[in-house]
Amino acid sequence: MKGFVDEGPTIRIYYDLEGQRRKDLVKALGEILLWEPKYLGAPTFSYQVGNYIVTQIGAIICPECCTKEIAQQIMLKLRERGFDHTGTNLMLYVVSLPRSMFDDTSLARLRNLVKSKETILKAAIGARDLQIEMTDEKVYFPWFTLSGADGEADAYNKLIAALGKAAREQIIMAILFSSKWVI
């Protein structure tokens, strides 16, 4: 069955739904999983259904323990309820950086940097969303769909490395320029 991507930390199933249709998807997922949906509000505007998340654009983010077989069953049960996924034939390329590269402040700066450049980044790389995922060891950027162009993966790696470097160096620059040493 097509429609999911299983590289990186989580499986995502895309439905591209908004408004009432997304609410209907959330309700159906809750009935399937036997969990009461919870609206998470700002800043993500996502719903939590058990340990699954339904994003603002209607993507279901499965927990790390979710297997392909479970994801296929969820897609099948949602299809029976009238929800057809839109994420087909994707080849997701996930870039990751070590979590140890970021303290809490630099991680917040990274999130803010990505949010401030969201429109241009989405347009440049053709991403649906720019969610940053984390484990204790890694920070994941599951944003990229490979098209087969030469050097494409390397360019994505360099982009993420540059974003990480900018987030870390902003801290250093902020410390330098806010200290008493600035004339």
Write down the mean pLDDT value for the chain: 81
Of residues 179 and 46, more confidently modeled: 46
Residues 137-152: tens digit of each pLDDT: 888 888 887 777 788 8
For residue 135, the model assigns a pLDDT of 76
Domain positions in the chain: 4-80, 92-178
For residue 172, the model assigns a pLDDT of 52
Residues 8-18: tens digit of each pLDDT: 556 788 888 88
Distance CA 180, CA 154 (A): 41
Backbone angles phi, psi at 93, to 5 degrees: -115, 120
- 3-class DSSP assignment, residue 7: coil
CA dihedral 125, 127, 133, 139 (to 10 degrees): -10
Across the range 57-61, mean pLDDT stands at 86
Provide the total of helices (H) and of strands (E) in the chain, helices listed first: 5, 9
On whether the pTM is more than 0.85, the answer is no
What is the band of 91 on the pLDDT scale with cuts at 50, 70, 90?
Answer: low
What is the band of 4 on the pLDDT scale with cuts at 50, 70, 90?
Answer: very low
In 3D space, the residue among 152, 175, 16 whose CA is nearest the CA of residue 87 turns out to be 16
For residue 69, the model assigns a pLDDT of 81
